[in-house]
Structure 1
Amino acid sequence: MHLSEIVHPNQLRGLTIPQLKQIAHQIRDKHLETVANSGGHLGPGLGVVELTLALYQTLDLDRDKVIWDVGHQAYPHKLITGRYKQFHTLRQKNGIAGYLNRKESSFDHFGAGHASTSISSALGMALARDLQGDNYKVVAIIGDGSLTGGMALEAINHAGHLPHTNLMVVLNDNDMSISQNVGALSRYLNKIRLSPPMQFFSENIEEQLKQLPFVDKGELGRLKGGMKRLAVSKVGAVFEELGFTYIGPIDGHNLEELISTFQEAHKHPGPVLVHVATVKGKGYAIAEKDQVGYHAQNPFNLATGKALSSKTPKAPSYSKVFAETLIKIAEDDYRVVGITAAMATGTGLDKLQAKLPKQYFDVGIAEQHAVTMAAGMACEGMRPVVAIYSTFLQRAYDQIIHDVCIQNLPVFFCLDRAGIVGADGPTHQGMYDIAYLRCIPNMVLMAPKDEAELQRMLVTGINYTDGPIAMRYPRGNGYGAPLLEEGWEPLPIGKAELLRQGDDLLIVAYGSMVYPAVQVAEILSEHGIRASVVNARFAKPIDVELMVPLAKKIGRVVTLEEGCIAGGFGSGLMEALMDHQVAVPVTRIGVPDILVEHAAPNESMADLGLTSPQIAERVLKLFSKTPAVVG
């Protein structure tokens, strides 16, 4: 059987080990070919090929449910659930999603983009099954890195309290998140990896004890349990004490062992944890050697592993400018520390780690802890810089309010990947940070128009000690603005910048939309419309001293932002104008009340009407109509 013939995972049932190995080889070939061509996550999926095939052979996928944690490890799952022919469209507009998506397949039982969600959702399904009188199997697959997320531990704690709820948790242990795992739990799992397998320990003990003439049946059960507890204390004590039956660790690339272990695990009542040791990037030597670098890749040469180079030289990325500037500041001030939640390479803080390791902290996939730890450091006079993607900071919203803003602590939040992020889709779009942070008392919000202004805002945020402050910046490269090596001056809080003057229209843009705003003004000038352009710099506080008189004088306002319109920057400016009794037509342009699906960023911008020509066309239509307040 060829992989292309598999349209339903139940077709794996009954295949021989040689046939499964052949399918595994084909999955890796297709996986590598696709990601090399279009980019995507590489290492995670390569590491779970045998795990997926073995587990699915022991299930009836017409009834049983498998819940994956973080969808990027589920590429093999996609390839054997009817998506082989579409797999070349991975992460492309109108193509296969890079994560699990309930709308895409009936086998994607729970959407997963963020980590640490699988055990909670799987337990919910298992409880619903029991309440409805059904008996299908529920399996959660979670990576060891995801166990650093408190939600996973909360779910384990609850599941262990329900001894009559059948649930299997498969721990995919490859000793990695995106970067190297951190924390005591990771060290503990490493010890387990070096221990002998335990899956059939109690059964072997029983067979040996039966041969002893002085052991009756009552003593047999007691001795068996005691011996198992003695051994498990070295191997799976934490999980056993939390109420799980622990099995493992087992070789995650040995199909025979995996199948027999899963079959055995299905027989155990209550919650069961199967510990599977895998190699991230398995089957592609380059990815096995560099597991951090090949977690995900842009298009690359499959033979060499090298990225396909662009002929056009690019400006440095915002993340790179952020990291290099932070290092220079931190070198002169030991109080400045960088904090990341398992995203060292993505945020650029790996550079800080290499240069100033004592001023770098990776807390694992634990955004809530990162924020409250930063609050504690701020209490003691440190200058914590918390670098987290916009979409992931959502996970720490209560901590931002309760532990930082209510106490008015000087924590500096740096929100990478703010706005449209492209191929990762709705779970990763940074659409909501302006709205969800703007409403919190004591918070200051700012966004740079380019990478040079990011340098000044970084200094501004670190120097600001009156309370919390946040800076958002987009994914990708800057505009090539000249960078300063040193001597950055902080910006005055709440002060905007007038870039262009005109009497017909006021365009106020925030962050990544400032350069497009200037382009819009140039297009409009060709049609006889003279526009003033303001770089807002701050979404809170808004520079009412500059903008209220301009709005009153010009009489028509357009706001531009790369984020949700509802509660966003434009809403903030409208509120400020109303507070000052300035009633002028305001058109807010940004992301409407929709989920932005996966596509290239430029494709998403065009679909949303956020390119400069599209915005100019919309403004021209406004000028052809009677002025009215537009929302």
Structure 2
Amino acid sequence: MELKILPNINTPEDLRQLPEEQLSALCEELRSDIVSELSVNPGHLASSLGVIELTVALHYVFSTPYDRIVWDVGHQAYAHKILTGRRDLFKTNRKFGGLRPFPSPDESEYDTFACGHASNSISAALGMSVAAMQKKEEDRHIVAVIGDGAMSGGLAFEGLNNASDKPNNMLIILNDNNMSIDQSVGGMKQYLLNLHTSSTYNRLRFRAARTLQKWGIIDENRRRTILRFNNAMKSLITRQKNIFEGMDIRYFGPMDGHDIKQLVRVLKEIKDMKGPKLLHIKTTKGKGYQPAEEEATIWHAPGKFDAETGERKVDETPKPPKFQDVFGETILELARRNPRIVGITPAMPTGCSLSLMMKEMPERTYDVGIAEGHAATFAGGLAKEGMQPFCNIYSAFSQRAYDNIIHDVALLDLPVVFCLDRAGLVGEDGPTHHGAFDLAALRPIPNVTIASPYDEHELRRLMYTAQLPGKGTFVIRYPRGRGELLDWQCPLEEVPVGKGRTIKEGTDLAVISLGPIGKDATRAIAEAERTLGCSIAHYDLRFLKPIDEEMLSEIGSKFSKVITIEDGVKAGGMGSAVLEYFSDKGTVPHLVRLGLPDSFVPHGSVAEERRLVGLDNDSIVQTISSLLKA
């Protein structure tokens, strides 16, 4: 498509100079531009295509950046980036040193808040709206954009509850496409499907309220009482109870989220209304690009594809499976043997491959929506009554369930297996998604076993071990992406809890690794021995907790120089645990810790990120060389 309008839009101010008649054409140009760019530079496609009209309408009606738009998650914000002065840089999106994967205030004044995890937009926008009132900025509008999937998160309900109680003028846009990444689930999904409100009724109410305010009959002190009476009457007439209006939040909709003219008109009508408001729009994920409309989950982040034909470019060369697929195949195999096993995921059955078990055993798998804390406590309840839950949560998202893991699982010493996918550096999704903190965060918790497999075989064995009787709360962390074993299937055998293993003997220096980064350590050790003429021992710790004290005692007695390697933060992680052990025993070798720094690691490929933080092959070899010379 030839772009005639979009090249002239450098800021939202340029957009606001367009006549409304050109907005539909601009939306089509935005779709074409996004599809074209993402076909060669992969990113989140379907979500962004679904909110093109909404994005244009918001920047057209509201005076951004003075008015605030708070995006929830940020998968859908590509059109927002393009319209806010970043079109020329969009080709660098998600690349090392380029545009960030999600909106960030550090990148643009139009990006009002961090939005890598779901369900925080309402709380953040409420804070901004209250701040505007405190600062007497009554003309500043605050808009939260949240999807129906994100609305299933507990934080969203906490924000709604507080919004109904505190004076604010926030507008919430509920983008209802019946999807998160996989299909949305739960009561909120069904509620939104069934929710219908008369547009004629809303239009008459707008006009009546404006007239009464103009005549001085309604003031802000009377608004809430009248609103409650109005909501009660409407519920009586329509025989329908609206959860939002029940919380004193004005509800408008549902309306077609792809009708740009209607969106602009309604936003203009409601933007200056006092008090919290919610506009419910219905959209189609992947709108305007047929392959994405038909298979929105696959086209959430499809990789490279042919923009004209929609054919995805898939390398058919045999490859090792992804760690998530080894998890998915293994839990299904275990569940066939053990009828107590159930699987739980917070809205990511495809992303973590629990979908394999879900297909064969739907009655024993639970997608609980974007609700990580609930997932952990729900697993605790299942375990309390004799079931064996495997709760799969992305490492970065498990941070949201920290208290639940402590209070509702570990405190009771319940046999829940937490499988933390995407542990370590994750690549292009960047700092909001890096699984950096789980080792350091979980290590102090009593009654918790923490393990990380060296390879796919070890993952299977650890999963088998974790579901055996008497193992208690068990955490297994593993990375995003593929392993290295084509023959990943192996016998399911028990691993002695708290026991590491010796990968290689040596005499000059010891390297202790935890998890799949041990593979990188193995290669670096081989290169160091070849180039430096030294002898290096390599130990796979395998368990962070309980730590293998017998193995550490052996290392402390044999070596005066030790390197620890982990793909979590150094502060409080595996290296810290090893140091603590040596310190307690009074034998502290010269120890160098390699891990993630005390800073948020930017986005890029995993190789680029590891080079940045000193965890790549050359950096490990250099560390070995420096320590040998020390």
TM normalised by structure 2 equals: 0.94
One-letter amino acid of the counterpart of residue 146, structure 1: A
Query: For 2:170 and 2:237, how far apart are their aligned partners in 1?
Result: 23
Deviation at 1:229, TM superposition (A): 4.2
Query: For 1:143 and 1:206, how far apart are their aligned partners in 2?
Result: 30
Q: Secondary structure at the match of 1:562?
A: strand
Q: Secondary structure at the match of 1:294?
A: helix
Deviation at 1:58, TM superposition (A): 1.3
Deviation at 1:610, TM superposition (A): 1.0
Over 3 Å counting, the alpha-carbon distance change for 1:528 and 1:130 in structure 2 is same
Query: For 2:309 and 2:573, how far apart are their aligned partners in 1?
Result: 45
Q: Which residue does 2:290 correspond to in 1?
A: 285
Work out whether residues 89 and 98 of structure 2, in 8 Å CA contact, stay in contact via their aligned partners in 1.
yes
Deviation at 1:617, TM superposition (A): 1.3
Q: Secondary structure at the match of 1:248?
A: strand
Q: Which moved more, 1:271-280 or 1:579-588?
A: 579-588
One-letter amino acid of the counterpart of residue 178, structure 1: I
Query: For 1:76 and 1:145, how far apart are their aligned partners in 2?
Result: 20
Question: What CA deviation, in whole Å up to 9, does each residue of 1:244-264 have, x standing for no partner?
Answer: 111000100001111111111
Deviation at 1:303, TM superposition (A): 2.9
Q: Secondary structure at the match of 2:552?
A: helix
Q: Which residue does 1:173 correspond to in 2?
A: 176
Residue 271 (structure 2) pairs with residue 266 (structure 1): yes
Residue 615 (structure 2) pairs with residue 610 (structure 1): yes
Query: For 2:377 and 2:233, how far apart are their aligned partners in 1?
Result: 42
Residue 193 (structure 2) pairs with residue 190 (structure 1): yes
Spell out the pairing of 1:16-27 with structure 2 (5 A cutoff): 16-27=19-30
Over 3 Å counting, the alpha-carbon distance change for 1:264 and 1:182 in structure 2 is same
Spell out the pairing of 1:425-444 with structure 2 (5 A cutoff): 425-444=430-449
Spell out the pairing of 1:138-217 with structure 2 (5 A cutoff): 138-162=142-166, 164-192=167-195, 196-197=198-199, 200-203=202-205
Work out whether residues 391 and 419 of structure 2, in 8 Å CA contact, stay in contact via their aligned partners in 1.
yes
Residue 417 (structure 2) pairs with residue 412 (structure 1): yes
Over 3 Å counting, the alpha-carbon distance change for 1:190 and 1:224 in structure 2 is closer
Over 3 Å counting, the alpha-carbon distance change for 1:322 and 1:388 in structure 2 is same
Query: For 2:318 and 2:607, how far apart are their aligned partners in 1?
Result: 19
Work out whether residues 168 and 274 of structure 1, in 8 Å CA contact, stay in contact via their aligned partners in 2.
yes
Work out whether residues 123 and 155 of structure 2, in 8 Å CA contact, stay in contact via their aligned partners in 1.
yes
Deviation at 1:10, TM superposition (A): 2.2
Q: Which residue does 1:314 correspond to in 2?
A: 319
Work out whether residues 579 and 588 of structure 2, in 8 Å CA contact, stay in contact via their aligned partners in 1.
no
Deviation at 1:481, TM superposition (A): 5.4
Query: For 2:486 and 2:498, how far apart are their aligned partners in 1?
Result: 23
Q: Which residue does 2:221 correspond to in 1?
A: none
Question: What CA deviation, in whole Å up to 9, does each residue of 1:514-544 have, x standing for no partner?
Answer: 1112112212222121011111110111111
One-letter amino acid of the counterpart of residue 321, structure 1: V
Q: Which residue does 2:218 correspond to in 1?
A: none
Query: For 2:545 and 2:206, how far apart are their aligned partners in 1?
Result: 66
Q: Secondary structure at the match of 2:33?
A: helix
Q: Which residue does 1:502 correspond to in 2?
A: 506
Q: Secondary structure at the match of 1:489?
A: coil
Deviation at 1:232, TM superposition (A): 6.2
Q: Which residue does 2:604 correspond to in 1?
A: 599
Q: Which residue does 1:512 correspond to in 2?
A: 516
Work out whether residues 199 and 248 of structure 1, in 8 Å CA contact, stay in contact via their aligned partners in 2.
no
Q: Which runs of 5+ in 2 are unaligned?
A: 213-225
Deviation at 1:389, TM superposition (A): 0.3
Q: Which moved more, 1:576-585 or 1:25-34?
A: 576-585
Deviation at 1:621, TM superposition (A): 1.4
Q: Secondary structure at the match of 1:471?
A: strand
Work out whether residues 231 and 246 of structure 2, in 8 Å CA contact, stay in contact via their aligned partners in 1.
no
Question: What CA deviation, in whole Å up to 9, does each residue of 1:93-132 have, x standing for no partner?
Answer: 1111120111110000111100001110000011111111
Work out whether residues 201 and 228 of structure 1, in 8 Å CA contact, stay in contact via their aligned partners in 2.
no
Query: For 1:305 and 1:452, how far apart are their aligned partners in 2?
Result: 36
Over 3 Å counting, the alpha-carbon distance change for 1:226 and 1:565 in structure 2 is closer
Query: For 1:369 and 1:198, how far apart are their aligned partners in 2?
Result: 39
One-letter amino acid of the counterpart of residue 480, structure 1: L
Residue 111 (structure 2) pairs with residue 105 (structure 1): no
Question: What CA deviation, in whole Å up to 9, does each residue of 1:156-178 have, x standing for no partner?
Answer: 0110113x421100101101111
Deviation at 1:4, TM superposition (A): 2.2
Q: Which residue does 1:528 correspond to in 2?
A: 533
Percent identical:
39
Deviation at 1:558, TM superposition (A): 0.6
Work out whether residues 173 and 278 of structure 1, in 8 Å CA contact, stay in contact via their aligned partners in 2.
yes
One-letter amino acid of the counterpart of residue 87, structure 1: F
RMSD over equivalenced CA pairs, Å: 2.1
Work out whether residues 454 and 518 of structure 2, in 8 Å CA contact, stay in contact via their aligned partners in 1.
yes
Q: Which moved more, 1:396-405 or 1:608-617?
A: 608-617
Query: For 2:332 and 2:583, how far apart are their aligned partners in 1?
Result: 42
Over 3 Å counting, the alpha-carbon distance change for 1:165 and 1:290 in structure 2 is same
Residue 475 (structure 2) pairs with residue 473 (structure 1): no
How many residues are aligned here? 611
Q: Which residue does 2:334 correspond to in 1?
A: 329
Select the residue among 525, 544, 547 that pairs with 1:542: 547
Over 3 Å counting, the alpha-carbon distance change for 1:239 and 1:444 in structure 2 is same
Query: For 1:570 and 1:481, how far apart are their aligned partners in 2?
Result: 31
Q: Secondary structure at the match of 1:71?
A: coil
Over 3 Å counting, the alpha-carbon distance change for 1:543 and 1:226 in structure 2 is closer
Query: For 2:100 and 2:37, how far apart are their aligned partners in 1?
Result: 13
Over 3 Å counting, the alpha-carbon distance change for 1:225 and 1:468 in structure 2 is closer
Q: Which residue does 2:119 correspond to in 1?
A: 116
Q: Secondary structure at the match of 1:463?
A: coil
Q: Secondary structure at the match of 2:75?
A: helix
Residue 79 (structure 2) pairs with residue 76 (structure 1): yes
